[in-house]
């Protein structure tokens, strides 16, 4: 599973990082963001690419688990 740490970054950078990672063709990714806007934008992008997204939040950090 690829892990992407996009904490502290504002959009569109987390989405761009996710797009680059998804090009590897892996089936699972873990993406860390710390703001609502990147959480929503990365989720929307990943779902558009056919991934199911589950989100957990702990201490202001959102962990997005993408699975195909």
CATH number at residue 43: 3.30.110.40
Task: Quote the number of domains for the chain.
Answer: 1
Catalytic residue among 2, 7, 9, 11: 11
For residue 46, the model assigns a pLDDT of 98
- Domain span at residue 62 reads 2-67
Taking only the tens place, the pLDDT of each residue in 9-66 is 999 999 999 999 999 999 999 999 999 999 999 999 999 999 999 999 999 999 999 9
The whole-angstrom separation of Cα 57 and Cα 68 is 21
Strand pairing class (28-33; 61-67): antiparallel
- The yes-or-no answer on residue 44 being catalytic is no
Residue written as token pair 């962990």: 63
């Amino acid at each position: 599973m690829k892990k992407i740490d996009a904490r502290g970054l504002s959009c569109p950078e987390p989405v761009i990082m996710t797009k680059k990672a998804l090009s590897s063709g892996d089936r699972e990714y873990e993406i860390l963001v710390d703001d609502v806007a990147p959480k929503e934008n990365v989720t929307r992008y990943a779902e558009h690419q056919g991934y199911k997204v589950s989100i957990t939040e702990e201490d202001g950090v959102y962990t997005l688990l993408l699975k195909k």
